[in-house]
Structure 1
Amino acid sequence: MTSKESSIGSSVVLSERSLKVEMPPQLLRGVYLHQCLGGWGRHWASADPAEQACDFRLSRPTQRIDNFLSHDWKTSRWLKLAALLVVFNSRAAAVATLLVSVSVGILRASSVLPDEAWTVALGHVTFFSVFFGWQRLRSFCRPRTVFLDKLCIAQHDAALKEQGILGLAAFLDIADELTVLWSPRTLQRLWCVYEISTFLRKPEKRKQVHIIPVKLALMLCVNSLSWFVMAGGYSVIANTSGREVSWARTLLGSLCMCFAAVLFPWTYYVGIGMMEDLSTLPQQLSNFRIQDAESMCCSRQHVHPETQQDVPCDRELVFATLQQWFGRAGDAPGKHLTDFNRLVRKELAPSVLKSVGRDHLPVWYTLYMAVSGSTPFLSDCISLLAKGPPGNLSSGGTVIWGIRTFISFAYVPVLAVLATRLNLCFCWHGFRMAHHSACRSRFCVAVLLSQLGIIIVATFWALFFIPSSQVEASSWIPIVPFLLLLAATATLFRNGCMPDGETSSESAAATSRKERLEPLQSGVPNNGQKRGDEEESTFEV
């Protein structure tokens, strides 16, 4: 049973009190992120009541929280784990992989390490070790402190739990950032919206609301894994030497390439599902009304499912607090809710849609995840540069050879970034195909689009590597395809792949319509019939 929401566990007291912005210091608690992620995110799953006291002891009193984690309890624990790893660990993993790859290249050039292809694996091991274990490593110097409702609010003690729910704003006030693990339910849940409203009430904190769609993180993870496997397989085949082991390396490389080919359709499958979710985001933001947010108490007609006693309305509690924050003396009834709705649409919505709208990718997360699969091969590039160019090259030819050697490494990471961006475009069109064409199977559409993606990647690869093998080492011709690839990647990230009108016209019209109608809707809570099977999105009990 859940309860941040619902006050079902402490209904009488909640009806007599209001939400607070202050908490006793001993109850103002945070938990280290590595503990929050422990056991492959086990704390994000439903808890055994017998473990609630132990879970609460993982948190500790604090005067500062780095990230307040807002989420919906019905969203898969694995999706949220993937999102947290991408948000908090991907940059460290990418930087560590780069440093290790450069170091391995220098050590190979200095003959400290053998100049062999297997040393590239050190970079791959580094990425996965840091990606999954960075917060544990960081805990030895400065651990990141976060708020996770289940661990920071006592679930085993009704009185302490009530104080934690009432003082939720106090946790948000000491948080530097609000990290929203977004799913389609997030903006439909009353308490998730309350968390956002608490941050938005302070102008200096409005830019510290960061939203990451959980399926976007999963898509980046699957896409990154496919490039890791594909790059590794190609490297094994390309570095085959010696007749005794040639067949074994070729077999291993071929298996890697086949596995990557299997992963490619799953990247599109996850991406199409993500697009299905993201297709609702512009409308959710442009039509946002906190009056429409759902709560457990209203879905159950304010009757406790076990005791059959009356339960007070969470809406009244939250709306009264919003009136204190956004209302003014003499305002018409419900105007504070109208003002808050407009704040979400005008200030929060544009920044969210710009960073994670259906035709946008977070650039840095994309770079960290897509490029890291090829970064370890930088050690090969450094080793080749250290050996020097082939003989009989002029000074100008030596410079061109050096540039081409670096480009031979850089081409694949840039191609991976371009392919990831194209995946998003194809997934959007795949979502439309799955809903507006005869082929309504998401998997079939994913397989079809993956073949198109493979053809495009293979074409770009051939444009560079085939000319490189046919011309002299001092020829500048292979540099041209690389410049074209850079231009195509930059253009696609800058301009997207769908017309602005397709993403904005409906949202603008819906926003205008809502703003015309809202003054006529006085903010009276919508206590209409809600789905009885809805669970509250925040506090696990």
Structure 2
Amino acid sequence: MESMESSDSESVACVRQAAEQFVAGVISRMEPERPDIIQAVAAWQALTGLGRAFRRKARRGQSRASFRTERLDEFWSHSWHGSQWKKICTAIYLNNSFCASLLATLGSLAMCLLVGFRVLPIPRFQQAPKKYPQDSCVCTVVGFFLYCFFLISWRPWQRIFLDILCIDQDDSERKTAALVSMGAFLKVSDSLLVLWDPSYTRRLWCVFEMAGFLHSRGANRPAKLTIRPTVLGPFFISLPIALSVVLLAIAFLPPIVMRHARVIFLPMALLAFVGFYVSVAALRGYYRSVKLLETELANFTVAESCCWCCNTLTDHTCEGKEVICDRQVVFRCIVMWFGTIESFEERVRTEVLDCLADQLSKNVFTYKQCAAASLPLFWYHMDRVVTRAVEGSRHSAIRELARGTAWAFGVLPVIFFIASTLAFLLRRQYCGCCSGVVMNCLILVIVVAAFVGLLELELLCWAVDIVENGNKLYDLLPGSCFFMCAMLSVAALVFACKRNLVIVAQLRRRDRK
């Protein structure tokens, strides 16, 4: 009896191995099982409903809207075991933030013109005896509203692959055909977007997607691999929102406070401290996640990845039926593609890690991103410009335009750079429940001190003015223009130095190899 049971188990193992070998052979060819199996969706369909497709509960009963295609612009690779909302925020930021910022700014400028030409009045709660609020706030409100609206509702049309939308979840036959055609999806994709979280490199199918994409690129077709930690989205989305809220709060400060330049420092600093705490916490979390990602890629091994069948099934049987092992199928595919498992692991540790370092140094915290996050301050100064123009003070209106340009495109990008550097240096998570709060507050104190210092510098620049018979002729305009030129030059110098340091670091890394 024992010999019969042994022979039965051996035959079952042989059948399973043969099935695994067959499935691996089908997948490794990277050809679709059916002509119509390659499906895509528009990117907006994956983001609609605040990323409903990424949320387990919200996507139940969601109808498929995929369409047949021969090319995919982007393959979205992600782990279902990471934070859903961070992943959603990052996907929304990568696809919608640029258009949202641009359209919000155009809307703010349109409102500035409408109010400036008196088509619309300046909205105020009180006209006499003292105007409240002192300045128009319509440009800031409209800009903030349009930014939030288009960030959520903009419709990017690039063709993407997202597993839950492009694989038929109801038809088991088509689902199986799509799964064994996963290599074909990767082959026809122009780029691979990795929405990375700490669970990504521990999931077997995520590893498979990266392996298939790297294999599908030939010598004449370099791999366009984009890796973005999912902490990135919450940080860059929180910046303009927090800045808009702080500026709207400042706009409604009592007139007695607004009349004294130095008196307003304290409420502005306090509002900035409260408003940007979440952003600083997210920034430190981002740098911790980048460090973790670099460590995981540098020590990457396929053996540490997890799969559903090995973790949940006993002897790979489900309801009395044998189930082929995903791990063995993926391992066989990797061997067919790269020769050995070790060759693939080495490619991840070198090529993918270099790609990550290059992208995070060149494409994250660029001047363009920092200036886009500073746009609410430009909207705020548009309100001040239009108020001065309506009141008939031309020089004051031009001065506020110069100030808005200086602060939005000079001062704030430099401050964001300072905050980014401090968050990088203090990214470590210390023991104790209050240590994170202390580190966040320390960064905020330094940043707010730099902000107040630059306000004082602007007051010093205002001493540069043209005076005749004891009267200032241009209402502080020369000093504001001098401050604008100085801060734009400083911002250009800071980000140019950052770019050069990145190039030097990359050259040193290549020399070490």
Which TM-score band (shorter chain)?
0.7 to 0.9
2:38 alignment partner in structure 1: 28
Displacement of 1:79: 0.6
**Distance between the aligned counterparts of 1:307 and 1:366, measured in 2?**
55
In 2 relative to 1, CA 338–14 (structure 1 residues): closer, same or farther, beyond 3 Å?
Answer: closer
Q: How many residues align?
A: 465
Conserved 8 A contact 1:67-1:146: yes
1:17 alignment partner in structure 2: 23
In 2 relative to 1, CA 205–371 (structure 1 residues): closer, same or farther, beyond 3 Å?
Answer: farther
**Distance between the aligned counterparts of 2:463 and 2:247, measured in 1?**
19
> Of residues 402, 416, 421 in structure 2, which corresponds to 1:420?
416
- Tell me whether 1:264 sits opposite 2:249 in the alignment: no
RMSD: 4.2
Displacement of 1:235: 3.2
Conserved 8 A contact 1:71-1:186: yes
Displacement of 1:47: 4.4
TM-score normalised according to structure 2 size: 0.76
1:277-322 Cα deviation digits (max 9, x unpaired):
1112222333334454443444458734854766433343223333
- Give 1:385-396 correspondences, 5 Å limit: none
- Tell me whether 1:170 sits opposite 2:184 in the alignment: yes
1:58-88 Cα deviation digits (max 9, x unpaired):
3233333332211111112111111011100
Q: Which amino acid aligns with 2:438?
A: C
Conserved 8 A contact 1:230-1:257: no
2:439 alignment partner in structure 1: 445
Moved more, 83-92 or 102-111: 102-111
- Give 1:99-178 correspondences, 5 Å limit: 99-114=106-121, 117-120=136-139, 121-135=141-155, 143-178=157-192
1:374 alignment partner in structure 2: 377
> Of residues 324, 332, 336 in structure 2, which corresponds to 1:320?
332
> Of residues 451, 455, 480 in structure 2, which corresponds to 1:461?
455
**Distance between the aligned counterparts of 2:204 and 2:22, measured in 1?**
19
- Give 1:74-85 correspondences, 5 Å limit: 74-85=81-92
> Of residues 393, 398, 401 in structure 2, which corresponds to 1:406?
401
- Give 1:58-97 correspondences, 5 Å limit: 58-97=65-104
- Tell me whether 1:286 sits opposite 2:298 in the alignment: yes
In 2 relative to 1, CA 494–324 (structure 1 residues): closer, same or farther, beyond 3 Å?
Answer: farther
In 2 relative to 1, CA 226–427 (structure 1 residues): closer, same or farther, beyond 3 Å?
Answer: same
**Distance between the aligned counterparts of 2:324 and 2:447, measured in 1?**
54
Q: Which amino acid aligns with 1:282?
A: E
> Relative contact order (C-alpha < 8 Å, sep 6+): which is higher?
1
1:521 alignment partner in structure 2: none
Conserved 8 A contact 1:30-1:60: yes
Q: Secondary structure at the match of 1:25?
A: coil
1:509-530 Cα deviation digits (max 9, x unpaired):
9x97xxxxxxxxxxxxxxxxxx
> Of residues 62, 65, 68 in structure 2, which corresponds to 1:55?
62
Q: Secondary structure at the match of 2:359?
A: helix
Conserved 8 A contact 2:99-2:150: yes
Displacement of 1:403: 7.1
TM-score normalised according to structure 1 size: 0.73
1:123-146 Cα deviation digits (max 9, x unpaired):
2222111111112xx6xxxx3332
1:196-247 Cα deviation digits (max 9, x unpaired):
2333231455452212211121111222222111222233348x49x9xx99
Q: Which amino acid aligns with 2:225?
A: V
Q: Which amino acid aligns with 1:41?
A: G
1:183 alignment partner in structure 2: 197
> Of residues 210, 225, 241 in structure 1, which corresponds to 2:241?
225
**Distance between the aligned counterparts of 1:450 and 1:303, measured in 2?**
55
Conserved 8 A contact 2:41-2:67: yes
> Of residues 341, 347, 350 in structure 1, which corresponds to 2:354?
350
Q: Which amino acid aligns with 1:166?
A: V
**Distance between the aligned counterparts of 1:409 and 1:47, measured in 2?**
45
Conserved 8 A contact 1:101-1:377: no
Displacement of 1:407: 2.4
1:195 alignment partner in structure 2: 209
In 2 relative to 1, CA 389–57 (structure 1 residues): closer, same or farther, beyond 3 Å?
Answer: closer
Conserved 8 A contact 1:29-1:62: yes
Q: Which amino acid aligns with 1:91?
A: F
Moved more, 450-459 or 21-30: 21-30
**Distance between the aligned counterparts of 2:163 and 2:377, measured in 1?**
38
Q: Secondary structure at the match of 1:68?
A: strand
**Distance between the aligned counterparts of 2:346 and 2:368, measured in 1?**
30
Displacement of 1:92: 0.3
Q: Secondary structure at the match of 1:428?
A: helix
In 2 relative to 1, CA 305–452 (structure 1 residues): closer, same or farther, beyond 3 Å?
Answer: farther
Moved more, 197-206 or 275-284: 197-206
Moved more, 177-186 or 19-28: 19-28
Q: Which amino acid aligns with 2:217?
A: K
1:446-485 Cα deviation digits (max 9, x unpaired):
1232222222222223322564388453664444544443
Q: Secondary structure at the match of 2:154?
A: helix
Larger Rg belongs to:
2
